[in-house]
């Protein structure tokens, strides 16, 4: 943990405006293991492996911690050699490619596929995950001087409100137990003039009839290790069938089999198989999967008191964005 992170962190227990106190001696501006303490309510939080931990590791996001530590590099552009994550990030956010000087709060970072892109764009990134996936992100990106990592809850983020130029939440909202509350929680951390961007699976008849929603009532109850083993065995058998169906029927054809299919990424076979196992597991294992309609997302953004709100189609389904209005000066009426 970099000492600079203390300027942003706040106690999630009492929400005191005071900075948390580090109960250990940093070495060259970094703390690997130690403790943070709130002087207002006396609550303490552990720092382990250089990451402040504000939540218990036993939570609804355990399957994500499992998958991202197992597949820590699979979806990194630096690993695949393809701009897959980069394209999704900028197509979804519509942000400029140069984010120099921007403070970005990244929610649900996973193994850091988007963290890597944000850092390369020049942003100062404050990135967290509810699960131990944050450890995978640390292995991939912690060496970057502009990255600050912590493990925390989207519903109770341990950061100073209205602190960030941009707040980002990709691939996460639908996997929380209360997507509306999650979105409105995120909006609190957007500074005046700043922007929130989220994405979500789209709620529609064709998507609800997808294999995922047929099988999830069963698969989400299977132990994650067993489910991963089952998927790992099925994927190599189903991949040739899925590829053939994509050639014959495009995206609709590929959806006729109960796995995901990525031949359009033009990856080497082993990496394509790995990506397919990962995302098929990601499809069937989460405790929560709550797709949303465009109208619902737009209403939530407006209720969060954001302006210039938009909802539009994006690679993951739907994207929503909104801006925090600039504060009026005293002389304005």
Share of the chain above pLDDT 70, in %: 98
Output the average pLDDT for the chain: 94
Q: Is the pLDDT of residue 333 over 80?
A: no
| pLDDT band of 159, cuts 50, 70, 90 | very high
- Domains, the chain, in order of start with CATH, read 1-53 (no CATH), 54-202+291-323 (3.40.50.150), 205-284 (no CATH)
User: What is the spatial distance between Cα 2 and Cα 147, in angstroms, rounded to a whole number?
Assistant: 9
**Interior/surface letters 4-38, b for 16+ CB within 10 angstroms, e for the rest:** ebbebbbbbbeeeeebbebeeeeeeeebeebbbbb
Give 149's strand partners: 127
Share of the chain above pLDDT 90, in %: 89
User: What is the spatial distance between Cα 199 and Cα 107, in angstroms, rounded to a whole number?
Assistant: 11
Whole-model pTM? 0.94
> Cβ of 93: how many Cβ atoms within 10 Å?
22
Asked if 309 and 302 count as a contact pair (C-beta separation under 8 A), the reply is yes
Q: Is the pLDDT of residue 289 over 70?
A: yes
Q: Is the pLDDT of residue 103 over 60?
A: yes
Alpha carbon dihedral 168, 171, 173, 174, in 10-degree steps, equals: 170
Q: pLDDT by residue (tens digit) across 32-73? A: 999 999 999 999 999 999 999 999 877 899 999 999 999 999
Mean pLDDT across 299-311: 98
Model pLDDT, residue 332 = 46
CA 309, 313, 315, 316 dihedral sign is positive
Model pLDDT, residue 328 = 56
Model pLDDT, residue 255 = 86
DSSP letter for 144, please: S
Retrieve residue 71's tokens: 């597949």
Q: pLDDT by residue (tens digit) across 169-222? A: 999 999 999 999 999 999 999 999 999 999 999 998 777 778 999 999 999 999
């Amino acid at each position: 943990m970099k000492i600079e992170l203390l300027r942003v962190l706040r106690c999630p227990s009492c929400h005191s405006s005071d900075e948390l106190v580090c109960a250990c001696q940093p070495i060259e501006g970094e703390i690997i293991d130690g403790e943070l303490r709130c002087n207002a309510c006396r609550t303490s939080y552990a720092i382990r492996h250089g990451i402040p931990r504000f939540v218990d590791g036993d939570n609804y996001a355990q399957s994500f911690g499992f998958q991202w530590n197992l597949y820590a590099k699979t979806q990194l552009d630096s690993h695949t050699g393809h701009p897959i994550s980069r394209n999704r990030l900028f197509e979804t956010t519509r942000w400029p490619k140069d984010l120099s000087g921007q403070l970005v709060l990244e929610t649900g970072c996973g193994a850091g596929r988007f963290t890597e892109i944000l850092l390369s764009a020049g942003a100062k990134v404050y990135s967290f995950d509810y699960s131990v996936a944050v450890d995978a992100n640390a292995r991939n990106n912690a060496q970057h001087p502009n990255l600050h990592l912590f493990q925390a809850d989207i519903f109770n983020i341990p950061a100073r409100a209205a602190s960030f130029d941009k707040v980002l939440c990709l691939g996460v909202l639908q996997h929380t137990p209360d997507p509306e509350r999650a979105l409105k929680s995120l909006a609190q951390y957007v500074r005046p003039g700043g922007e929130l961007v989220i994405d979500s699976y789209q709620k529609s008849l064709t998507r609800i009839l997808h294999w995922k929603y047929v099988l999830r009532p069963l698969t989400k109850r299977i132990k994650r290790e067993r489910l991963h083993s089952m998927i790992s065995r099925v994927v190599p058998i189903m991949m040739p069938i899925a590829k053939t169906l994509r050639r014959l029927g495009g995206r609709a054809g590929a959806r006729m089999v109960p796995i995901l299919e990525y031949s359009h990424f033009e990856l080497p076979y082993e990496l394509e198989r790995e990506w397919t196992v990962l995302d098929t597991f990601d499809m069937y294992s989460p405790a929560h999967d709550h797709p949303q309609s465009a109208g619902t997302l737009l209403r939530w953004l407006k209720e969060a008191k954001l302006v210039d709100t938009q909802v539009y189609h994006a690679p993951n389904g739907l994207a929503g964005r909104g801006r925090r209005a600039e504060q009026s000066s005293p002389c304005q009426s």
